[in-house]
């Protein structure tokens, strides 16, 4: 495998990571921002107030997006395994 092929595999791996983690990280960011604004507006500085809602929403998002994430990973690994089989 040449250098360009290796770079293409690395680019595809990074892109797959971004696509899979994007929805979960986006939801965590939105919930954290909303809770932070709520805490700033009400002057409540409770650590669990920011952690528990974020944990619940992130777990729910992972549960709802698990089929999409598994499909993306399956496609990526099928591509990688096909490329490994094509090496001679």
25-80 pLDDT per residue, tens = 999 999 999 998 998 898 888 878 888 999 999 999 999 999 999 999 999 999 99
Containing structural domain, residue 28: 3-86
Distance CA 64, CA 34 (A): 21
Q: What is the pTM of this model?
A: 0.78
Q: In the block, which residue shows the tokens 């591509």? A: 79
- Going 25 to 5 to 88 to 83, the CA torsion angle's sign is positive
pLDDT at site 1: 67
Give the model's pLDDT for residue 31.
Answer: 94
CA dist 70 and 63 (Å) reads 11
Tell me how far apart the alpha carbons of residues 62 and 66 are, in angstroms, rounded to a whole number.
Answer: 6
Q: Count structural domains, the chain.
A: 1
List CB contacts of 45: < 8 A, sequence separation 6 or more: 39
Q: In 3-state terms, what secondary structure has residue 62?
A: helix
């Amino acid at each position: 495998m040449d250098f360009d092929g290796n770079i293409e595999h690395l680019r595809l791996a990074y892109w797959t990571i971004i696509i899979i983690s994007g929805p979960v990280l986006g939801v965590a960011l939105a919930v954290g921002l909303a809770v932070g604004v709520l805490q700033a507006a009400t002057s409540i500085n409770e650590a669990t107030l920011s952690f528990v809602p974020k944990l619940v929403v992130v777990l729910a998002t992972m549960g709802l997006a698990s089929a999409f994430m598994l499909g993306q990973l399956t496609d990526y690994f099928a591509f990688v395994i096909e490329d490994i089989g094509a090496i001679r």
